[in-house]
A and B are shown apart, each in its own frame.
Chain A
Amino acid sequence: MAEVLRPEMLDISSNDNTSSLASSTELLHVLAVDDSMVDRKFIERLLRVSSCKVTVVDSATRALQYLGLDGENSSVGFEDLKINLIMTDYSMPGMTGYELLKKIKESSAFREIPVVIMSSENILPRIDRCLEEGAEDFLLKPVKLADVKRLRDSLMKAEERAFKNMMHKRDLEANDLYSQLKRAKI
């Protein structure tokens, strides 16, 4: 007679990376984009002090290159690139932060990554446009340490929720499988 498998004994662990924030030692990896040398130095320090891993680039074009979205490279090799947040200046020569936001939201690989726009100008239509295009938040420069901490906390909470939902889903799947097996009288 075969053993009845109880849900707790099933191990449906998969190899996806969604449990990456389960351990508190995992750092948020932030990609920061700003054409100003001063602001790059500043935001990098703000993020490091807030326990984030930081990659800083000086233009939207370079950001796209880093993400592999510049059309020059295929996405091969970029699956392991784990970015948790993109923070970009709005006014940049060449491609603006708004245009970068649109490109990221158009990409299937990166559209889920929260994008925060930073600007020294408090222009409501600009803010609306960015939020409509899917920006996570709009920060007025100079960015404060409190802003970064708030962002980080809300991202950690969102990832925690996603992780909990995933675990709950696995529980449901395990229970479902158990019921099926029971019905099949294995």
Chain B
Amino acid sequence: MDLVQMQKSLQDYTKSLFLEGILDSQFLQLQQLQDESNPDFVSQVVTLFFQDSDRILNDLSLSLDQQVVDFKKVDPHVHQLKGSSSSIGAQRVKNACVVFRNFCEQQNVEACHRCLQQVKQEYYLVKNRLETLFKLEQQIVASGGMVPAVELGF
């Protein structure tokens, strides 16, 4: 694939993530903060998000598996995940966390288990898509090209 094709693929791929609601405009904010002096800013923040989220999801699984679920422990974790997903524009993860928190408030253990599954699903989805996005970017850079600035004409 030549450079122009790769760049077009990247643009189309990025657009699809927005159209599917996987990412929201906050991700654009992140991209706007990236420049020649900080060319890896987006991937750095996203990597932190992955590390943070892996840890939180693990803690959540443990907390919900207890005989007696301590919602005072569960809720702050979900709140944190909601916050960090919101900060990077991972819209569907954030929305899943909002639903999760409602069930935490109701102290509904079964519903919370389902919510956790939902959050995990959305998280793995956005993780997978972003990893693909970064690979596409790396391919372009490796071919001596520049990653095109985000253009959302839709």
* Interface assignment of B38: CB less than 8 Å from any CB of chain A: yes
Q: Which of A136-151 contact B (CB under 8 A)?
A: 141-142, 144-145
* Interface assignment of A76: CB less than 8 Å from any CB of chain B: no
Within 8 Å by CB of B82, from A42, A120, A144, A145, lies A120
- Residues in A with CB closer than 8 Å to B88 are 38
Chain B min CB distance to A41 (Å): 5
- Given A41-B44, A45-B38, A141 contacting B29 (CB threshold 8 A): no
User: Is the Cβ of B87 less than 8 Å from the Cβ of A39?
Assistant: yes
- Work out how many contacts link A and B, with CB atoms closer than 8 A: 50
Map CB proximity to B onto A88-122 as digits: 1 under 8 Å, 0 otherwise: 00010100000000000000000000000000100
Within 8 Å by CB of B33, from A45, A91, A141, lies A45
- Residues in A with CB closer than 8 Å to B33 are 42, 45-46, 49, 145
Chain B min CB distance to A50 (Å): 10
* Interface assignment of B84: CB less than 8 Å from any CB of chain A: yes
User: Is the Cβ of B82 less than 8 Å from the Cβ of A38?
Assistant: no
* Interface assignment of A36: CB less than 8 Å from any CB of chain B: yes
Give Cα A38 to B82, complex, Å: 12
Give Cα A37 to B87, complex, Å: 11
Give the number of residues in B that approach A within 8 Å (Cβ atoms). Answer: 22
Interface size of A as a range: 10 to 19
User: Is the Cβ of B41 less than 8 Å from the Cβ of A141?
Assistant: no
- Residues in A with CB closer than 8 Å to B84 are 36-39
Residue of A nearest to B30 (CB): A42
Chain B min CB distance to A8 (Å): 46
* Interface assignment of B80: CB less than 8 Å from any CB of chain A: yes
- Residues in B with CB closer than 8 Å to A142 are 26, 29, 86-87
Map CB proximity to A onto B32-50 as digits: 1 under 8 Å, 0 otherwise: 1100001001001100110
Map CB proximity to A onto B77-92 as digits: 1 under 8 Å, 0 otherwise: 0011011101110000
Q: Which of B58-116 contact A (CB under 8 A)?
A: 76, 79-80, 82-84, 86-88
- Residues in B with CB closer than 8 Å to A49 are 33
User: Is the Cβ of A38 less than 8 Å from the Cβ of B32?
Assistant: no
Residue of B nearest to A49 (CB): B33
Chain B interface residues toward A at CB < 8 A: 26, 29-30, 32-33, 38, 41, 44-45, 48-49, 51-52, 76, 79-80, 82-84, 86-88
Apart from A36-B80, A37-B84, A42-B87, 19 more pairs, CB < 8 Å: A38-B48, A38-B49, A38-B52, A38-B83, A41-B48, A42-B30, A42-B33, A42-B45, A46-B33, A49-B33, A93-B76, A120-B82, A120-B83, A120-B86, A141-B83, A141-B87, A142-B26, A142-B29, A145-B29
For the complex of A and B, the 8 pairs showing the least CB-CB separation, nearest first, are: A38-B84, A142-B87, A120-B83, A37-B48, A45-B33, A38-B48, A38-B49, A41-B45
Chain A interface residues toward B at CB < 8 A: 36-39, 41-42, 45-46, 49, 91, 93, 120, 141-142, 144-145
